[in-house]
Amino acid sequence: MSDLPKNIVINEVGPREGFQMEPTFVATERKLELIEALAETGVGTIEITSFVNPKMVPNMAEAEEVAARVRRKPGVKYTAIWMNERGFRRAVAAGNLDIFGSLLLSASKAFVMRNKGWTPEQDEADQHRVVEMYRANGVKVQRANVAAAFGCNFEGDIPVSSVLSTVDRLMEIAATHGEVLECINLADTMSWATPLSIKRVVGAVRDRYPNVRIALHLHDTRGLAIANAFAGLEMGVDEFDSSVAGLGGCPFAGHKGAAGNVSTEDLVFLCQESGIETGINLENLIGAARLAERVVGHDLPGSVMKGGSLTALRNALSA
């Protein structure tokens, strides 16, 4: 009936995806408090900030300070993102971070044009420069991201063939510079995915690249993120980006109030109840999700943080 993995890897992206969307500035101290609570859950990777233009994303203005001040817990990777060489240099200079190289292309041409003002050819040429930048700095290129892999507000439905050709282009870019991509991260950037399209697209990418790990980056704008995650699990996907309490959204998604990424604690709950190991302590994670609400000062969309885990109920019954 399914091919569920025994273990999955979760990349916690809440501090980056979430805080960037907050309309008011979140104090650095509070950001660090959430990051440190997340580190106590057992999660392996936390994307803590992004080095982007502070005029565009005021809540990321003190990215260097967040990186410098985070108290690192051994065994946890603290990562960040950037959009260009300037951002990358800031991240390297900030120190105290785990620097990973990744590529990014969009399966939607219209999204690139709207987002960056570039043609697909210009976007691809830029990614060649990005690989060279990483190689020149001794940074391994591990992962490639496919934006808008399931649909696009500015282009509509994305055919599977467009996703496959985007993955082909990413593989070729890496290969041109002697790099081998270990992981393709399929992003439902604007929340168009359904369980059926997850199965169709993941199946097609796996068929063409059976030795490449597939990850999913899922948004919950239309309430299907957890169903899509389960569809991915059934296809053997064993790596997910997710966001504590469902923090976040997408600034390019074209509608205000869009829900954020799939909630980390809801995903961990789903896995725990399905016999899939995440390495994460769900009760600690629920605590971190509730802290996230206090830090941003408003309700967040996660469900298990409100409903509670079943383990807690089972323990109460057997006590």
Residues noted as catalytic: 250
Closest to 288 in 3D by CA, of 22, 20, 33: 33
Query: Is 306:49 a contact under the CB 8 Å cutoff?
Result: no
**Which residue, 34 or 262, has its beta carbon nearer to its own copies?**
262
Among 56, 93, 125, 313, binds its own copies (CB under 8 A): 313
Partner residues linked to 145 by β-bridges: 104, 185
Which of positions 21-60 make contact with its own copies (CB under 8 A)?
Answer: none
Size of the site for its own copies (CB under 8 A): 50
Q: Is 288 a residue that touches its own copies (CB under 8 A)? A: no
Task: Report, in Å, the least distance between residue 113 CB and its own copies.
Answer: 14
Binding pattern for the stretch 238-277 against its own copies, x by CB under 8 A and - elsewhere:
----------------xx-xxx---x--x--xx--xxx--
How far is residue 186's CA from residue 107's CA, in Å, rounded to a whole number? Answer: 10
Task: Report, in Å, the least distance between residue 201 CB and its own copies.
Answer: 13
Task: Report, in Å, the least distance between residue 188 CB and its own copies.
Answer: 12
**Which residue, 85 or 273, has its beta carbon nearer to its own copies?**
273
Q: Is 314 a residue that touches its own copies (CB under 8 A)? A: yes
Q: Is 303 a residue that touches its own copies (CB under 8 A)? A: yes
Token pair belonging to 175: 């290969």
CA distances from 213 to 16, 163, 201, 233 (A): 23, 15, 14, 13
Task: Mark the segment that binds its own copies (CB under 8 A) among 58-66, 72-80, 128-136, 215-223.
Answer: 215-223
At residue 193, the 3 state secondary structure works out as: coil
Among 223, 251, 279, 297, binds its own copies (CB under 8 A): 223
The single-letter code of the amino acid at 185 is N
Task: Report, in Å, the least distance between residue 3 CB and its own copies.
Answer: 11
Query: Is 128:177 a contact under the CB 8 Å cutoff?
Result: yes
Which of positions 145-204 make contact with its own copies (CB under 8 A)?
Answer: 151, 153-157, 191-192, 194-197, 199
How far is residue 52's CA from residue 20's CA, in Å, rounded to a whole number? Answer: 10
Binding pattern for the stretch 75-104 against its own copies, x by CB under 8 A and - elsewhere:
------------------------------
From the CB of residue 132, how many other CB atoms can be counted at a distance below 10 Å? 12
Place of tokens 């990562």: 79
From the CB of residue 193, how many other CB atoms can be counted at a distance below 10 Å? 28
Query: Is 244:263 a contact under the CB 8 Å cutoff?
Result: yes
**Which residue, 132 or 273, has its beta carbon nearer to its own copies?**
273
Looking from the CA of 183 toward its CB, the CA atoms found within 13 Å total 20
From the CB of residue 100, how many other CB atoms can be counted at a distance below 10 Å? 17
**Which residue, 169 or 219, has its beta carbon nearer to its own copies?**
219
Query: Is 15:38 a contact under the CB 8 Å cutoff?
Result: yes
The footprint of its own copies (CB under 8 A) covers 1-2, 151, 153-157, 191-192, 194-197, 199, 220-224, 226-227, 229-231, 254-255, 257-259, 263, 266, 269-270, 273-275, 299, 302-304, 306-310, 313-314, 317-318
